[in-house]
């Protein structure tokens, strides 16, 4: 999962893009990057690390221009080398930079065809660089010295025809403008907004989540439709068109479970309200299965589950307490690369308040259970703090299948629920009883608020992959790439990603 942003304005955008990335930091903590454009020249800074660590004053002053795109990244099956941090650049045609959130399921085949048919070379294993080169090739075959909006849309149509999987994209074409587009299923989110500057001119912003628009004073207009492209030309005129032959909104439901901030609106759905409803339906299930539940207190595992846990406690009519204090200066354990690092970080991240646990039957609520390591550690922490009994509730159904659309769900063999019954999972994590949200209830929690989604991508729960191109061979390769023991651990310390394309060769 990654976060993207793009701004077309009439004043410098470097600080605004930085601020947007800090708001989107929860979507990726591995690397960050910003590219701006001025007078046809691109200026790029990217490197591994948090936003606050990647960008210093000396970097910000070099990011000149009134238009730019930005990206925060966390690795999926690729490496954590800063050579694979985004945005990516290609010089032909025109000069293009691109940032991407998602995952191409046919990236391997595309990479081969790019070399053999399009005569293009990629420098990394990133599917985002593959996507950039496909877009660049499709734009180049338009054969225009000065492309117009129809040429841009034709190139995006070519991308849709060739690329499979999930992609939300922001890109810049040197001296021509900014383009944003979304895959034909709308799996990954992207929203656009507008604001007026002091002179009354309209400025545009694209971002993964609406909170980034809110933070910068842009009014949310709407999400890009599935298969839609938007192009802001260098005169500041916005053009839009659905470029996919087939388009049907089927967004990833896990955005509402875990990734998105609660103050975001995605595809017309309030993430906060969806999580409130998750707590209500989960409480109803508990009352149905265990009317004599013995729960003395409900506690969230901070932070994502807090909204659901509060509503669950209200519905059950029991006390809600904050039993764990979170260390704010450590990353989200779910998206940390490597099982050992995740396991070590749990006790660094959370510390129990003993008096809230001692002698009580505690219901712990989390947003989901993926590998099971985190909740196993937390349950033991609750027992060590004096809890009499420890129950566990997941606001999401059991995660039984890998994600192939841009979320770092591990290989199937590393998912605690894969091939296990709920009773077996209960025994592994060490709780007194375990309850999962039902998938039908989860869908009902997000399929409201005027949402137009025909269905949701629920593949991690039901194994149904909506793009229809995921087979056993794909999973075999995924197992090799994603298993923690097999992931590459490249840390390219010598390359800090600071470069300015065209007219600035300084590195620091």
Secondary structure tally for the chain: helices H, strands E: 17, 23
Spatial separation of the C-alpha atoms in residues 452 and 41, rounded to whole Å: 40
Spatial separation of the C-alpha atoms in residues 42 and 282, rounded to whole Å: 50
Distance spanning both ends of the chain, measured CA to CA? 29
Helices assigned H by DSSP within 124-268: 127-140, 149-162, 210-215, 254
Give the H/E segment covering residue 342. Answer: helix 339-349
Catalytic residue among 2, 184, 375, 445: 2
Q: Which two tokens stand for residue 77?
A: 């099956």
Residue 246 burial by Cβ neighbours in a 10 Å radius (0-12, 13-18, 19+) = exposed
Give the H/E segment covering residue 173. Answer: strand 165-173
Token pair 């591995």: residue: 30
8-state DSSP, 382: H
8-state DSSP, 3: E
Give the H/E segment covering residue 356. Answer: helix 354-357
Spatial separation of the C-alpha atoms in residues 249 and 367, rounded to whole Å: 24
> How do beta strands 177-182 and 165-173 pair?
antiparallel
Spatial separation of the C-alpha atoms in residues 304 and 301, rounded to whole Å: 8
472 contact partners, CB below 8 Å, separation of at least 6: none
Spatial separation of the C-alpha atoms in residues 248 and 7, rounded to whole Å: 27
> How do beta strands 389-394 and 361-366 pair?
parallel
User: What SS3 class is residue 433?
Assistant: strand
- Encode 118-139 in three state secondary structure: CCCCCCCCCHHHHHHHHHHHHH
- Closest by Cα among 223, 235, 132 to 182: 223
> How do beta strands 319-320 and 297-300 pair?
parallel
Give the H/E segment covering residue 113. Answer: helix 107-116
95 C-beta neighbours (distance < 10 Å), count: 20
Q: Is 163 in the active site?
A: no
368 C-beta neighbours (distance < 10 Å), count: 22
Active site residues: 2
């Amino acid at each position: 999962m990654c976060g993207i942003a793009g701004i077309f304005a009439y004043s410098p955008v470097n600080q605004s893009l930085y601020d947007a990335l800090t708001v989107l930091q929860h979507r990726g903590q591995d690397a960050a990057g910003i590219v701006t454009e001025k007078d046809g020249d691109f200026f790029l800074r990217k490197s591994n690390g948090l936003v606050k660590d990647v960008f210093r004053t000396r970097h910000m002053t070099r990011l000149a221009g009134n238009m730019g795109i930005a990206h925060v990244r966390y690795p999926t099956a690729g490496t954590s080398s800063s050579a694979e941090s985004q945005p990516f650049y290609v010089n032909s045609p025109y000069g293009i930079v691109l940032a991407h959130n998602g995952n191409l399921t046919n990236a391997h085949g595309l990479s081969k065809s790019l070399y053999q048919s399009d005569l293009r070379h990629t420098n990394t294993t990133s599917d985002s660089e593959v996507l950039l080169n496909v877009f660049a090739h499709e734009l180049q075959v338009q054969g225009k010295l000065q492309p117009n909006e129809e040429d841009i849309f034709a190139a995006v149509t070519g991308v849709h025809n060739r690329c499979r999987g999930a992609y939300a994209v922001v890109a810049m074409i040197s001296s021509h403008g900014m383009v944003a587009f979304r895959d034909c299923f709308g799996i990954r989110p992207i929203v656009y907004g507008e604001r007026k500057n002091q002179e009354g001119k309209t400025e545009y912003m694209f971002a993964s989540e609406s909170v980034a628009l809110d933070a910068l004073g842009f009014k949310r207009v709407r999400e890009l439709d599935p298969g839609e492209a938007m192009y802001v030309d260098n005169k500041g005129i916005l053009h839009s068109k659905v470029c996919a032959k087939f388009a049907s909104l089927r967004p990833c439901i896990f955005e509402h479970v875990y990734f998105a901030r609660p103050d975001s609106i995605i595809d017309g759905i309030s993430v906060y309200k969806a999580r409130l409803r998750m707590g209500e339906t989960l409480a109803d299930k508990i009352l149905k299965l265990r009317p004599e539940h013995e729960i003395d207190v409900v506690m969230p595992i901070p932070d994502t589950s807090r909204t659901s846990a509060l509503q669950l406690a209200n519905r059950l009519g029991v006390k809600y307490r904050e039993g764990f204090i979170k260390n704010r200066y450590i990353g989200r354990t779910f998206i940390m690369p490597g099982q050992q690092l995740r396991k070590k970080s749990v006790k660094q991240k959370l510390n129990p308040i003993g008096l809230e646990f001692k002698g009580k039957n505690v219901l712990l609520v989390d947003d989901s259970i993926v590998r099971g390591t985190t909740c196993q550690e937390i349950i033991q922490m609750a027992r060590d703090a004096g809890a009499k009994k420890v129950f566990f509730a997941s606001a999401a159904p059991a995660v039984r299948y890998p994600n192939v659309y841009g979320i770092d769900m591990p290989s199937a063999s590393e998912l605690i629920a894969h091939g296990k019954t709920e009773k077996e999972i209960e025994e592994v994590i060490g709780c007194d009883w375990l309850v999962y949200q039902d998938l039908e209830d989860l869908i009902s929690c997000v399929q409201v608020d005027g949402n137009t989604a025909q269905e949701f991508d629920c593949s991690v729960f039901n194994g149904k992959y909506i793009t229809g191109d995921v087979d056993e061979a794909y999973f075999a390769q995924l197992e090799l790439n994603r298993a923690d023991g097999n992931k590459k651990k490249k840390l390219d310390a010598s390359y800090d990603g600071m470069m300015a394309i065209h007219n600035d060769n300084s590195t620091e």
